[in-house]
């Protein structure tokens, strides 16, 4: 797909969220739940008008941010070499925000949905989807496993992200499975955190190995 197609998909997702909100709006209570604690209990409420502004606004903000960041990239760290992967990640982020908005919209009608679990499962799926393409991400300052050692060495960056693709994908799927199995809330979160932490540690170890062998490259 070309660049325009990715942005059209993201815009269509935002439009879909706004349309769903407009359809549901007349039937939504004046005050709607906006935030839940880890036990699934509502701890923050807001006017239903925020349904039109908050999540759709964040989705639009993400799309604009992804559009601006390439222009800000310094030389040798451009995203041109992995632009399709970069834009795929944008669409995934926008889609996940749209999913969360739909969960919030559903919660305005019924208390039967466990919002914390639904969002946690969405986050796990997000990590898996991002991990699926992590090995294609090239050295940049915005996305990926950005440690001092990956930024300093392209070789360390590439090998670290090949590992991150495996650990993040596996951690995301495992976390999602744990959500379905009703594991304690912190267990899936701890699982998905291992996805980026393991390659981050590896980047230091691999960098020091190259340094010791005199094989470092800029």
What are the tens digits of pLDDT across the range 92-134?
A: 999 999 999 998 888 877 767 788 889 999 999 999 999 999 9
Of 153, 159, 140, whose CA–CA distance to 199 is shortest? 159
The predicted model gives 16-45 an average pLDDT of 79
The total of other beta-carbon atoms located within 10 Å of residue 40's CB is: 16
Say what percent of the chain tops pLDDT 90. Answer: 61
In the chain, helix, strand, coil percent, each to 5? 70, 5, 25
pLDDT at residue 40 in the model: 65
Mean pLDDT of 132-149: 93
Place of tokens 């879909």: 16
pLDDT at 207: 94
Alpha-carbon dihedral sign for residues 7, 56, 15, 111? positive
Q: What is d(CA 93, CA 63) in angstroms, rounded to the nearest whole number? A: 9
pTM: 0.88
**Which residues of the chain form beta strands (DSSP E)?**
31-36, 42-47
HSE-up (13 A, CA, CB side) for residue 218: 2
Residue partners of 197: CB distance under 8 A and separation at least 6: none
Two tokens, residue 113: 């949905």
């Amino acid at each position: 797909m070309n660049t325009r197609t990715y942005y059209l998909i993201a815009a269509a997702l935002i439009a879909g969220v706004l349309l769903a909100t407009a359809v549901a709006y007349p039937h939504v209570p004046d005050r709607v739940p906006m935030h839940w604690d880890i036990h699934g209990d509502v701890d923050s409420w807001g006017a239903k008008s925020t349904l039109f502004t908050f999540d759709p606004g964040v989705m639009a903000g993400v799309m604009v941010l992804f559009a601006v960041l390439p222009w800000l990239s310094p030389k040798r760290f451009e995203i041109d070499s992995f632009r399709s992967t970069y834009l795929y990640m944008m669409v995934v982020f926008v889609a996940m925000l749209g999913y969360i908005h739909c969960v919030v919209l559903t919660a305005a009608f019924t208390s039967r949905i466990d919002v914390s679990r639904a969002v946690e499962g969405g986050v796990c799926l997000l990590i898996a989807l991002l991990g699926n393409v992590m090995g294609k991400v090239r050295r940049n300052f915005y996305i990926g496993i950005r440690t001092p050692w990956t930024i300093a060495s392209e070789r360390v960056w590439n090998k670290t992200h090949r590992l991150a693709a495996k650990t993040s994908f596996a951690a995301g799927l495992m976390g999602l499975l744990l959500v379905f199995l009703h594991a304690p809330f912190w267990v899936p979160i701890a699982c998905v955190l291992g996805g980026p932490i393991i390659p981050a540690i590896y980047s230091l170890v691999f960098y020091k190995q190259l340094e010791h062998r005199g094989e470092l490259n800029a």
